[in-house]
Chains A and B, each alone.
Chain A
Amino acid sequence: MINCAHCKEQLSTYLDGIMTAEEKKLIEEHLSTCEQCKVAFSELKKTEETLRSLEEVEPPPWFTQKIMNRVREEAEPKKGLLQRLFYPFHIKIPIEAFATCLVVALALFVYKNTEPEMKALHRPEEISTATPQEQAQEQYDRTPSVPASKELQGKSDNMLKADTEQQKNSIAPSVFDSAGAGSQKKDTPSPAGIPERLMAEKSSGGTGSMYEAKTSETASLKKQETMPMQKTAAPPLAKLKEDSFAPSVGSAGIRSTQEAMKSPVPRELKSATVEESKQVLFTVLTNNLEATAKETENLLNRFGAKNIGRSSRQARLITFDADLPGQKVTEFFNALKTVGDVKGKEIPARSTEDYLAVRIEITGSP
């Protein structure tokens, strides 16, 4: 005989019929005598029946397709590797975070690398703020004859004129010789005056320093030349700029030094570049070529032109290149009309200190 506890334990397996015939017999014997266990068994049976009577649920429509879509996606990983990496529904935060970090790092790297160039771009300005001051100081120290004060400006202008007048005869031809030699291929006058102009500017840097050498040895020149060497980081552009403004320090030295002393930011750098890009061209038609050329030269001197250069590459063409004070250009233009038949645009008077590159082409009529 078995007791109720043991019977109840076995009821579940008895219900499934998976027990030996002997065990089965024992349970059945107990159930026939024990009402409590009998009730328990029938309840268990009812429970099982209830579970079996549960209705099945149907899969949603396209369920197979949905499953297979995911399986196929999984089966072809090579095809859509990138797609899978950045597939919006499968959040791949590590990859995206890594990409962001990479971009930031790259940006920093680029910024760090380009910074020296940014500095280099600023350098010419720094140089120009420093060097003309120094030069000015030097020149001021060495040439006591040059008045620094504004009241004596006129006087210094006169002196400058006198100097340039002396200069031009001795130096100007050599300038153009060197310009001509430097640009052999430009035997015919080039229509674009800028490259030639640049050459003239550069070589006139030589004249400037020669002029300076007369008054103050060659120290200043050396300083100018060594300047770019010291600033090794400065790009070629900056060098070019330095070169191009150096002569104006040399030849227009007195004036510009005063200027540099007045304002911390020198104007030469800016004005030089501006002048280079804008050359004023006057064409004069005349019957007497030589006489007109002489008169023009006189006019240029009268209006305080500097760096006067004369060239005659063709039989009936004489070209003058000069730097003319901006405010005198209009006056010069009007004066030039008295000399010959002038073609050229009216130039509005420039602000005081600007020098304007001027080219006068005198063409003799046959």
Chain B
Amino acid sequence: MVEVSHRKDEKDRIPADDDMEFVSRCQRGDIDAFEVLVTRHQKKMLNIVYRITGDYDDACEVVQESFLSAYRAIRKFRGDAIFSTWLTGITVNHAKNRLKQTQSRSYHEVVSLDDPLETESGQITLDPPSREASAIEQLEQKEVQEKVQECIGGLDKDQRAVLVLRDIEEFSYDEIGSILKIPDGTVKSRLSRARDALKDCLKLKKVIGDL
């Protein structure tokens, strides 16, 4: 089941230098070094994929495949970018591919926007009640989360990727540019359109009201 933690608790970013040591050990055939990298990055990768695909199980699979791809390609990694950026690029590509598959699969399926989404919904109730949030607040929070995820799901896959990387994972424009291999200007414009579309969607769902 999906466990949820507040992002405030986990703000520590791993320094790139640390990764490089393990990367070079990997390149010399040390599998245990790769395990360190997996341990470090799996959660971040999982969250990126989960937000892009909107499906937890799919996200787990995609992350596994992504790490496998990364391992296969690690000898080719020359340290032009930092490892996490390189890894994120692989992961986002896998996520987008998965999205392509699932979209073509569910093309004919009619889904109501009011249908409950199988996101982390159930887990909030399983969590021990937070001291500061009442049950109603929790429920509201849960609804908001669902609606936001729905709205992200309404974007096209390129917009999703840039939005998730910027507004959820807080990558810099430069990093996003090198992850998605697009120029800076494209990052800006794509992000701008994604935010506008999401804003409209959230307004429509009354997540953000008239201020």
Contacts and interface: CB of A to CB of B under 8 A. Distances in A.
B102 to A, nearest CB: 18
B192 A51 contact: no
B167 interface: yes
A18 B166 CA distance: 13
Interface stretch (B17-25, B30-38, B83-91, B108-116): B30-38
Interface string B18-57: 0000000000000100110011001100110011000010
Contact of B167 (A48, A58, A70, A75): A48
B34 A13 contact: no
B5 A58 contact: yes
A51 B43 CA distance: 18
A39 B209 CA distance: 11
A298 B52 CA distance: 113
Nearest to A72: B31
A346 interface: no
Main secondary structure of the interface of A (DSSP, over half): helix
> Which secondary structure dominates chain B's binding surface?
helix
Interface string B188-208: 100110011011001100011
Given A12-B188, A57-B2, A64-B42, A74 B72 contact: yes
Contact of B192 (A9, A59, A63, A70): A9
Interface string A63-78: 1101110111011000
Nearest to A38: B211
A188 B132 CA distance: 116
Given A13-B188, A59-B60, A67 B38 contact: yes
B4 A47 contact: no
B80 interface: no
A54 B168 contact: yes
Q: Which of A51, A60, A63 has the most CB of B within 10 A?
A: A51
Given A16-B173, A75-B31, A46 B208 contact: yes
B: interface residue count bin: 35 or more
Contacts of B12: none
Contacts of A16: 166, 173
B4 A64 contact: no
A16 B47 CA distance: 22
A39 B211 contact: yes
B135 interface: no
A160 to B, nearest CB: 92
Given A13-B192, A71-B67, A55 B145 contact: yes
Contacts of A71: 31, 34, 38, 67-68, 71
B3 interface: yes
A43 interface: yes
B60 to A, nearest CB: 6
Nearest to A10: B192
Interface in A28-65: 39, 42-44, 46-48, 50-60, 63-64
B198 A42 contact: no
A38 to B, nearest CB: 9
A56 B124 CA distance: 12
Contacts of A59: 42-43, 46, 60, 63
B148 A54 contact: yes
Interface of B: 1-7, 10, 31, 34-35, 38-39, 42-43, 46-47, 50-51, 56, 59-60, 63-64, 67-68, 71-72, 120, 144-145, 148-149, 163, 166-168, 170, 173, 188, 191-192, 195-196, 198-199, 202-203, 207-208, 210-211
Given A16-B166, A55-B5, A70-B68, 10 more contacts: A12-B192, A47-B199, A52-B170, A56-B5, A57-B46, A63-B60, A67-B67, A68-B38, A70-B67, A74-B72
